[in-house]
A and B are shown apart, each in its own frame.
Chain A
Amino acid sequence: MAKWKSYGIAYLFLAPSLIGLAVFVLYPILYSFYLSFMKWDGLTPMSFIGLSNYKDLWTDETFKISLTNNLYYTLVTVPITIVLSILLALLMNYKVRGIQTFRVLYFFPNITASLAIGIIWAAMFTQYGPLNTILRFFGYADPPAWLASTTMALPAIMLVSIWKGVGYNAVILFAGLQGVPRHLYEAAELDGANRFKQFIYVTLPGLSPVIFFCVVMGVIGSFQVFDTVMAMTQGGPGRSTNVLVFHIYNTAFQNYNFGYASAMSYILFVIILVITFIQLKMQKRWVTY
């Protein structure tokens, strides 16, 4: 009884955030699961259509294109972002004059509105924009059309995502670097390990839990990419930069097909869940705590 009372008090304290969680997170999650079996345009009464929405996904060409684009996006952006972040974190770790300023500057893209970033970068990528002017200066006479090309538009978005993500991950990895015990470096040095070997055998294993965190969050984030696409290409040219969340958004809020959009959201959820699960299982092989 006494135990129940103390739990009761605890739950009372938790109530404000639990209620918020239930209303704004749990309820929409469950409701969209329910919606995924319905045909609903948001206005007229909904009708139960069983697994039709899920079946339609198999023949939806735009869904396949979006999924392929998303996988491509993830496979390119996550590894490159992580590698560059580690390098940047190592640089940040040097104690030179003004390093604090650099640490802040690298974090800047992360606190800037994605839409603003998208618009600025879209201007950078224009035919006679700064990027192509630089390329021409270095003798590249026929620079890519970037956002106007079906093959280069997605890489252009990836470039922006990497630019944006590196600062954020570098700050987390930099914090992780502080946690690698000093004495391990001293021991390695005594054993005759050079800087590179110290990095491979001390720094990387020491950082691995943080790297693991960055990879998991990076993969999840990359599957949810939306704002950069919305600001820079709106899925175009054609459907070459259409990604899953963008397709879900279009289906729900442009075509008013909420049932189908919910079904896609659940497929996206399952994809992320499976990948994250695999990552958690695999971590034993390379993450040292």
Chain B
Amino acid sequence: MNRMKVWLMVVLTVSIALFTACSSNNSGQKSSGNDAGSSNSEETVTINFFDWTDEQPYMNQVVSAFEEKHPNIKVNQNYVPTSDYIQKILVNLSTGGGDMDVFATQSTSNLAEYISKDVLEPLDDIAGSEALAGNKDTIEQLRFNDHIYGFPYRTSKWVLYYNKDLFDQAGIPYPDNSWTWDRYAEVAQQLSSGSGQDRMYGSMSYQSNNTWWRVLANIQGVNNPLVPEELETFKKAAEYYYNLTYTHGAQQPFGELVGDAGSDFSSRFLQGKTAMMWNGDWAVQMLNDEIQNNGVELNYDIAPLPKWEGSETTTTGSFAVIMVNKQSKQMDAAKKFAEFVASEEAAKIFVRNGLLSPWGTEEVKEAFLDSVTTPESVGVFSDPYVVMSQVPMDPLYNQGIKIVEEETSLYFLQEQSLDEAFQKIKDRIAKEVK
């Protein structure tokens, strides 16, 4: 009996030892990788790069180009599902963040948040480097507290999409850069007809808690609801969007656009039952993919966004930003990689994948126009209109905009008035955002 107990103890001890050995082995592997890097410049250094899954196809190409240029730096790519990405980064940073050297974000408000939490390495020393010279203006836009903490490497722009056939049928000339939002509403109304489920709409609406209406404020340089003066412009934009739906009857009512039914704007546009929509450059890829690969028939083109009476044509967009973790143990290599992602060389890779780059050089423009040939006026993306940022550099922005979404969605669903909605926004921001 005693012998059996002894055996039992041996088995249990061995199994516990194995269990702990397995778990420590993991961290052992990781740290050995880091050690190898720091010891000698001749040896290969490995850096860990974190990004969300949507970026994988083109980031793979950027990483390959970087590794080719820097054979002694290996970039370990970690792609996290988009919905979990921000949380994953938070976990990485809160647990010391030692295993994450470089990471990306698609919102400048997140950049501001990371800066306020003091987790980013200032990049001032390389921000003025020759490799980034052509990207300098955009980089400067992300200056915070006199420092540069992140490099913009990809951008987006909103334009006006329209169904050419519907314009032709109605005998209305195509939109151009002379259009104002009043003209847009007028034409949208003219192009709306029918009733019920089969009604044709002049303009595309989206879910009630959408971001689209805010574009109308964004193009006026207004993006932060936490600034009381900016709320007025947001209010006017919301009212315009509401009127487009209920006064002009030019947009599908928001009550019909719940859940996936509301978010699927591209298929609604492809069905040819909506004449116009304003949207980001990503819609080109979505529409072209359906037209070229799935045989959907749609004759569309793009134009610059309409302007408000008395102002110049502008557009809006946001930046994807690359940052270096302050805790990185491979600082030199990490900075080199961040610099490369924001360089002209990487910019060409992005545009060849149909994406927009903050780089405005002729070479980058040409590469873009070579890769994206449809629609006809795709050059609008390269036109030198001022791009207003959609998202402010404010760490509290996400909290504020959530309140705006909650209250305006009730306005768009006709459950509260415009004044009520904005009074509540003002009150709730004062009380809840901290």
Question: Closest CB-CB distance, B150 to chain A, in whole Å?
Answer: 16
Chain B residue numbers with a CB within 8 Å of A223 are none
Question: Closest CB-CB distance, B261 to chain A, in whole Å?
Answer: 5
A237 and B87 contact, CB distance less than 8 A: no
Chain A contact residues, majority secondary structure: loop
B117 and A237 contact, CB distance less than 8 A: no
Residue from B16, B119, B258, B398 within 8 A of A126 (CB atoms): B258
State whether A62 and B432 are in contact (beta carbons under 8 Å apart), knowing that A9-B5, A238-B410, A256-B90 are contacts in the complex.
Answer: yes
- Interface centre among A59, A122, A146, A256, by most chain B C-beta atoms within 10 angstroms, is A256
A123 and B90 contact, CB distance less than 8 A: no
Residue A275 CB within 8 A of the other chain: no
State whether A147 and B93 are in contact (beta carbons under 8 Å apart), knowing that A43-B119, A238-B410 are contacts in the complex.
Answer: no
A238 and B407 contact, CB distance less than 8 A: yes
B409 and A125 contact, CB distance less than 8 A: no
Question: Closest CB-CB distance, B149 to chain A, in whole Å?
Answer: 14
Q: Complex formed: what's the CA distance from A43 to B413 in Å?
A: 38
Residue B228 CB within 8 A of the other chain: no
Residue B67 CB within 8 A of the other chain: no
Chain A residue numbers with a CB within 8 Å of B257 are 148
Nearest residue, chain A, Cβ from B402: A254
Chain B residue numbers with a CB within 8 Å of A250 are 402
Q: Complex formed: what's the CA distance from A129 to B407 in Å?
A: 26
Residues of A within 8 A of B (CB-CB), count:
36
Residue from A41, A236, A253 within 8 A of B406 (CB atoms): A236
Residue A116 CB within 8 A of the other chain: no
Residue from B12, B87, B258, B407 within 8 A of A146 (CB atoms): B258
Nearest residue, chain A, Cβ from B94: A42
Residue from B117, B258, B399, B428 within 8 A of A44 (CB atoms): B117
Chain A residue numbers with a CB within 8 Å of B259 are 119, 122-123, 125-126, 147, 232
A128 and B256 contact, CB distance less than 8 A: yes
Residue B8 CB within 8 A of the other chain: yes
B118 and A148 contact, CB distance less than 8 A: no
Nearest residue, chain A, Cβ from B87: A253
State whether A148 and B258 are in contact (beta carbons under 8 Å apart), knowing that A237-B415, A253-B87 are contacts in the complex.
Answer: yes
B410 and A149 contact, CB distance less than 8 A: no
Residue from B94, B118, B209 within 8 A of A236 (CB atoms): B209
Chain A residue numbers with a CB within 8 Å of B33 are none
B208 and A237 contact, CB distance less than 8 A: yes
Residue A12 CB within 8 A of the other chain: yes
B409 and A238 contact, CB distance less than 8 A: yes
Pull 11 A–B residue pairs with CB atoms less than 8 Å apart, ordered by A. A9-B8, A43-B90, A43-B93, A44-B118, A61-B431, A62-B432, A127-B256, A148-B256, A150-B410, A235-B406, A255-B398
* Interface positions of B (Cβ within 8 A of A): 5, 8-9, 12, 16, 87, 90, 93-94, 117-119, 197, 208-209, 254-261, 398-399, 402, 406-407, 409-410, 413, 415, 428, 431-432
